[in-house]
Amino acid sequence: MKLRANPHGALSGRASMPGDKSISHRALLLAALAVGESRIAGLLEGEDVMATAAALRRLGVELERDGKGRWTVAGVGIGGLAEPDSVLDLGNAGTGARLIMGLLAGHPFTGIVTGDTSLRRRPMARVAVPLREMGVTILARSGDRLPLAIRGRADPLPLDWRSEIPSAQVKSAILLAGLHAAGRTSVSEPAASRDHTERMLRAMGAEVREEETEGGGRRVTVTGQPELLPRRLTVPGDPSSAAFPTVAALLAPDSRVTLVGVGTNPLRTGLYRTLREMGARILEQNAREEGGEPVADLLVESSDLESVEVPAARAPSMIDEYPILAVAAARARGITAMRGLGELRVKESDRFGAILEGLRACGVRCWSEGDDLFVEGGGPPAGGTRVEARLDHRIAMSFLVLGGIARDPVTVEGAETIATSFPDFVALMNRLGARIEEVTT
């Protein structure tokens, strides 16, 4: 699919964000491990989350859709999954694949996990290595890439794991495996990664302990073999999805947009902190808590942005938002420096390279030095070009936002990937005043 973003004027109106993708995956997975029936509201029904739902069905879990975003999950309890009769295909869902590996670790049968072309290129060693330490057998392609076969065990060994990088996916996979182990399983990280798994586990009755470690790190410990309680879970709006209309409204003069029900977990809001440092007018209204997560409505007004330096330590709280931050930086006065972005090379695509390639095609001066990215901003980007999404939904949406504030339209090829996380992106943006259309030539 090709989508063309035409330059637009002011954006205005109110919009509700799709459910948080990270929390949606976890809501399904943990509800499946509870004893009894859980009800979920606000679930993201993008392709990634639906791939996780399909995998759970193959593992013997009954899931029923009760309406848009409303699902009922009949939990089978810790260790209660059934051996799948076919391959578990997670599509483009990196979170789903890695967390499913953690679940399979606690079951004495073999499951085969695969994904699409993009996911089969992504590294799984960060999860496979600690799971092997727990006594799990994993056979994979070179580099521990998908497809892989994982044979779990009914009594995986408890583990005390020290992760070299902060990664919520790695941490969560180990904690999910640790739920099946007798004793305590711990994960230590050099900096805190998003904590949705810990919050939800605690809400469902698991014993979870968190502590600060030397040098600003964090250690999370879960006590194995709990009986998870079924819950009514509400998934907040995804701050990563909200980033796109936020930046679009900031950059289009005279814009004023309210984004309703956005998650404001401090371990997910590095982008919003950075934008405010750049001079963005983003006001939180109606702050509240839903499903154990902080939520607020965001009032966003057009703003003149200044360049900043984004420290590497902030990356865990905004790792998915660097593509859209780079678009904001293209309009900010001066040179914005984004430090320590090596992790972007192993996301859905080489996002680091995709950002540089796309910005340069749109006439924006940018360069890299090692794992640091530099973007020189100023007037509207030239646009008038085509950008390849590289099977990456965030690259696709970011350059559609850029096309809206460029001098000439920007066409994104491979835009069908947007459906993995934000199926209503085009309709929502156009309701606010954007001018995105499908093209056939």
Considering 155, 320, 371, 408, which one is annotated as catalytic? Answer: 320
Q: Give the DSSP letter of residue 422.
A: -
Cα–Cα distance, 360 to 372 (Å, whole number)? 16
92-149 pLDDT, tens digit per residue, is: 999 999 999 999 999 999 999 999 998 999 889 999 999 999 999 999 999 899 999 9
Residue that has been written with the tokens 């013997």 in this structure: 60
Q: Report whether the peptide linkage leading into residue 147 is cis, meaning its omega lies within 30 degrees of zero.
A: yes
Query: Please, how many CA atoms are within 13 Å of residue 27, restricted to the half-sphere of its CB?
Result: 31
Nearest to 135 by CA among 93, 181, 167: 181
pLDDT average, residue stretch 49-58: 98
Length of the chain equals 441
The Cα–Cα gap between 215 and 34 comes to 36
Residue pair 324/398 in contact (Cβ under 8 Å)? The answer is: yes
Structurally, at CATH architecture level, domain 21-234 sits in: Alpha-beta prism (3.65)
pLDDT band at 338 (very low <50, low <70, confident <90, very high): very high
Under the banding of pLDDT at 50, 70 and 90, the label for residue 348 is: low
Q: For 1-31, give one letter per residue: b (16+ CB within 10 A) or e.
A: ebbbbbbbeebeeebbbbbbbbbbbbbbbbb
Among residues 124, 111, 206, 127, the alpha carbon closest in space to that of 163 is found at: 127
Residues of CATH 3.65.10.10 domain(s) within the chain?
2-19+236-439, 21-234
Q: Domain 2-19+236-439 belongs to what architecture?
A: Alpha-beta prism (3.65)
Alpha-carbon distance of 297 to 288, in angstroms, equals: 9
Sign of the alpha-carbon torsion through 321, 326, 331, 334:
positive
Q: Which residue has the tokens 């993708």?
A: 21
Q: CA 250, CA 238: separation in Å to the nearest integer? A: 18
C-beta of residue 34 within 8 angstroms of C-beta of residue 228: yes
Give 208-265 pLDDT, tens digit per residue.
Answer: 999 998 888 999 999 999 999 999 999 999 999 999 999 999 999 999 999 999 999 9
Is 195 marked active-site? Answer: no
The reported pTM is 0.87
What is the mean predicted confidence (pLDDT) over 198-215?
93
Structure tokens at 257: 């947009």
pLDDT of residue 123: 83
pLDDT at 435 over 70: yes
